[in-house]
Protein backbone atom coordinates (compact mmCIF):
# COMPACT_ATOMS: atom_id res chain seq x y z
CA UNK A 1 0.00 0.00 0.00
CA UNK A 2 2.81 2.44 0.85
CA UNK A 3 5.40 1.42 -1.74
CA UNK A 4 7.15 4.79 -1.54
CA UNK A 5 8.39 3.78 1.90
CA UNK A 6 9.88 0.52 0.66
CA UNK A 7 13.63 0.42 1.10
CA UNK A 8 15.64 0.24 -2.13
CA UNK A 9 18.30 -2.44 -2.19
CA UNK A 10 21.79 -1.41 -3.20
CA UNK A 11 24.09 -3.70 -5.14
CA UNK A 12 27.82 -3.32 -5.72
CA UNK A 13 29.51 -2.97 -9.10
CA UNK A 14 33.00 -4.43 -9.50
CA UNK A 15 35.50 -4.97 -12.25
CA UNK A 16 37.11 -8.37 -11.89
CA UNK A 17 40.33 -9.31 -13.68
CA UNK A 18 41.12 -12.97 -14.31
CA UNK A 19 44.54 -14.39 -15.16
CA UNK A 20 44.52 -16.17 -18.53
CA UNK A 21 47.95 -17.71 -18.23
CA UNK A 22 50.64 -17.78 -20.90
CA UNK A 23 50.47 -18.00 -24.68
CA UNK A 24 52.36 -20.58 -26.77
CA UNK A 25 55.49 -18.39 -26.71
CA UNK A 26 55.46 -18.11 -22.92
CA UNK A 27 54.19 -14.52 -22.86
CA UNK A 28 51.53 -13.52 -20.36
CA UNK A 29 48.09 -13.17 -21.97
CA UNK A 30 46.10 -10.03 -21.10
CA UNK A 31 43.76 -10.52 -18.14
CA UNK A 32 40.11 -11.22 -18.87
CA UNK A 33 37.94 -8.40 -17.49
CA UNK A 34 34.29 -8.59 -16.47
CA UNK A 35 31.84 -6.29 -14.73
CA UNK A 36 30.25 -7.98 -11.74
CA UNK A 37 27.03 -6.83 -10.08
CA UNK A 38 26.42 -8.44 -6.72
CA UNK A 39 25.18 -7.96 -3.18
CA UNK A 40 28.74 -8.53 -1.92
CA UNK A 41 31.82 -10.48 -2.98
CA UNK A 42 30.78 -13.31 -0.68
CA UNK A 43 27.43 -13.66 -2.51
CA UNK A 44 26.75 -14.86 -6.05
CA UNK A 45 26.49 -12.11 -8.63
CA UNK A 46 26.07 -11.56 -12.35
CA UNK A 47 29.11 -11.24 -14.61
CA UNK A 48 28.85 -9.06 -17.72
CA UNK A 49 31.62 -9.57 -20.25
CA UNK A 50 32.57 -10.48 -23.80
CA UNK A 51 33.74 -14.00 -24.45
CA UNK A 52 35.67 -15.94 -27.11
CA UNK A 53 38.09 -14.08 -29.40
CA UNK A 54 38.43 -12.64 -32.89
CA UNK A 55 36.28 -12.91 -34.94
CA UNK A 56 33.82 -14.53 -32.54
CA UNK A 57 33.58 -12.07 -29.62
CA UNK A 58 30.10 -11.82 -28.14
CA UNK A 59 28.53 -10.21 -25.09
CA UNK A 60 27.25 -12.54 -22.40
CA UNK A 61 25.98 -12.25 -18.89
CA UNK A 62 26.28 -15.10 -16.45
CA UNK A 63 24.37 -15.42 -13.21
CA UNK A 64 25.56 -17.15 -10.04
CA UNK A 65 29.19 -16.05 -10.31
CA UNK A 66 31.15 -16.32 -7.07
CA UNK A 67 34.01 -13.89 -7.68
CA UNK A 68 36.15 -14.93 -4.73
CA UNK A 69 35.88 -18.65 -5.53
CA UNK A 70 37.62 -18.29 -8.90
CA UNK A 71 41.15 -19.67 -8.88
CA UNK A 72 42.11 -17.40 -11.79
CA UNK A 73 40.98 -14.17 -10.10
CA UNK A 74 43.87 -11.70 -10.03
CA UNK A 75 42.23 -8.36 -9.11
CA UNK A 76 38.89 -6.91 -8.03
CA UNK A 77 38.10 -3.21 -8.20
CA UNK A 78 35.01 -1.77 -6.49
CA UNK A 79 33.56 0.65 -9.04
CA UNK A 80 30.41 1.82 -7.32
CA UNK A 81 26.87 1.07 -6.19
CA UNK A 82 23.57 0.77 -8.03
CA UNK A 83 19.99 0.43 -6.86
CA UNK A 84 18.54 -2.97 -7.70
CA UNK A 85 15.71 -1.29 -9.63
CA UNK A 86 18.25 0.27 -12.05
CA UNK A 87 20.15 -2.93 -12.90
CA UNK A 88 17.90 -3.81 -15.85
CA UNK A 89 18.64 -0.39 -17.45
CA UNK A 90 22.34 -1.05 -17.08
CA UNK A 91 22.02 -4.55 -18.55
CA UNK A 92 20.20 -3.12 -21.58
CA UNK A 93 23.12 -0.76 -22.15
CA UNK A 94 25.63 -3.60 -21.81
CA UNK A 95 23.72 -5.69 -24.36
CA UNK A 96 23.65 -2.76 -26.80
CA UNK A 97 27.40 -2.04 -26.69
CA UNK A 98 29.28 -2.72 -29.89
CA UNK A 99 31.48 -5.79 -30.02
CA UNK A 100 34.47 -5.25 -32.31
CA UNK A 101 35.31 -8.38 -34.27
CA UNK A 102 37.38 -6.46 -36.85
CA UNK A 103 40.12 -4.67 -34.88
CA UNK A 104 42.58 -7.36 -33.74
CA UNK A 105 43.76 -5.15 -30.85
CA UNK A 106 40.27 -4.97 -29.33
CA UNK A 107 39.38 -7.29 -26.43
CA UNK A 108 37.26 -7.71 -23.29
CA UNK A 109 39.16 -4.93 -21.52
CA UNK A 110 38.08 -2.47 -24.21
CA UNK A 111 34.48 -3.64 -23.80
CA UNK A 112 34.68 -2.97 -20.05
CA UNK A 113 36.05 0.52 -20.72
CA UNK A 114 33.17 1.20 -23.15
CA UNK A 115 30.73 -0.13 -20.54
CA UNK A 116 32.28 2.11 -17.87
CA UNK A 117 31.95 5.15 -20.15
CA UNK A 118 28.26 4.30 -20.55
CA UNK A 119 27.87 3.84 -16.79
CA UNK A 120 29.38 7.28 -16.15
CA UNK A 121 26.99 8.89 -18.66
CA UNK A 122 23.90 7.13 -17.25
CA UNK A 123 24.54 8.31 -13.72
CA UNK A 124 22.59 5.36 -12.28
CA UNK A 125 25.74 4.07 -10.58
CA UNK A 126 27.16 5.99 -7.65
CA UNK A 127 30.83 5.84 -8.56
CA UNK A 128 33.59 5.31 -6.02
CA UNK A 129 35.79 8.37 -5.59
CA UNK A 130 38.82 8.18 -7.84
CA UNK A 131 37.41 5.64 -10.30
CA UNK A 132 37.70 7.20 -13.75
CA UNK A 133 37.51 5.65 -17.20
CA UNK A 134 40.81 7.33 -18.13
CA UNK A 135 42.44 5.46 -15.26
CA UNK A 136 41.09 2.17 -16.60
CA UNK A 137 42.58 2.95 -20.00
CA UNK A 138 45.98 3.32 -18.32
CA UNK A 139 45.51 -0.08 -16.66
CA UNK A 140 44.85 -1.65 -20.06
CA UNK A 141 48.02 -0.04 -21.44
CA UNK A 142 50.07 -1.34 -18.52
CA UNK A 143 48.54 -4.82 -18.89
CA UNK A 144 49.33 -4.90 -22.61
CA UNK A 145 52.92 -3.89 -21.80
CA UNK A 146 53.13 -7.01 -19.65
CA UNK A 147 53.35 -5.10 -16.34
CA UNK A 148 51.25 -6.13 -13.36
CA UNK A 149 48.06 -4.14 -12.91
Q: Which pLDDT value is given to residue 26? A: 93
For residue 3, pLDDT beyond 60: no
Asked whether the beta carbons of 90 and 122 are under 8 A apart, the reply is yes
Mean confidence (pLDDT) of the chain: 86
Which tens digits make up the pLDDT trace of 97-146? 999 999 998 999 999 999 998 988 888 888 887 777 777 767 655 655 54
Q: Which pLDDT value is given to residue 46? A: 97
Amino acid sequence: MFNFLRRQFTLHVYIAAYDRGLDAKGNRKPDHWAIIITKSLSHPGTAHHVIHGHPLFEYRHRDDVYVLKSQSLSHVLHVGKIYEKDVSKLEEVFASLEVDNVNKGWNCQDWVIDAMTSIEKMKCVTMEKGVKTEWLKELVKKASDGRDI
